[in-house]
Amino acid sequence: MTDLTSLGLKSGGIGTEVNAVDSFGSTPLQYACEKDSIACVKFLLKMGADIEARVNTNTLQHGTALHIVAMQNHLEIAKLLIKYGANVYAKNAQNELPVDLLPLKEGNLFELLVQSAAQPVMLKDLCRRQIRASLGSNRLKFLPNLNIPHLIQLYLMHRT
């Protein structure tokens, strides 16, 4: 968990802002994707990081975490981002999809992006995304305190 420490994030820490944008226009999730830190990406997504936040750097204008992962060819993180609702149709400032930024137009990541674009999102996943978005990233840590069945809590925390 040293990656989390270097980002200055602690589980449940006071003042932690998982969607903070630095002076370069990047979020902790985007840095974790760039560094191929799957543990950090998982943590940030569970804490409600904005998966569609746009980054503005010299190499990527108005791209998402999935654009970064595609450029870096990080398959496992791409799977995780898609599971949490990353938009495979999101375009950057140059009108490029994540699949357009792949170093090679073949391989497992290429197949994943193409297949994800061809399949509709399941209703249960759309519901989970909407509920999580309605709660907001700052309130997700309070899910265990809600008077709702434990299985629903697990579902909302992506544990089922």
* pLDDT at position 5: 45
Is 70 exceeded by the pLDDT of residue 91?
Answer: yes
Measure Cα distances from 74 to 56, 81, 150 in Å: 20, 11, 33
* pLDDT at position 69: 95
Q: If you ran DSSP here, which 8-state letter would residue 61 be given?
A: E
Which residues have CB under 8 Å from 12's CB, separation 6+? Answer: 141
Is 60 exceeded by the pLDDT of residue 141?
Answer: yes
The pLDDT mean for the chain works out to 85
Q: Residue 24: which of 78, 65, 68, 60 has the closest Cα?
A: 60
* pLDDT at position 17: 82
Measure Cα distances from 141 to 83, 138, 153 in Å: 19, 7, 11
User: What's the whole-number mean pLDDT along residues 130-156?
Assistant: 84
Instruction: Using a cut of 0.85, tell me whether the model's pTM lies above it.
Output: no
Q: What are phi and psi of 56, to 5 degrees?
A: -130, 95
Residues of the chain above pLDDT 70, percent: 87
| DSSP, residue by residue, 65-119 | HHHHHHHHT-HHHHHHHHHTT--TT---TTS--GGGG-SSS-SHHHHHHHHHHHS
Confidence class of residue 16 from pLDDT cuts 50, 70 and 90?
low
Is 70 exceeded by the pLDDT of residue 11?
Answer: no
Q: List the structure tokens of 103.
A: 């170093």
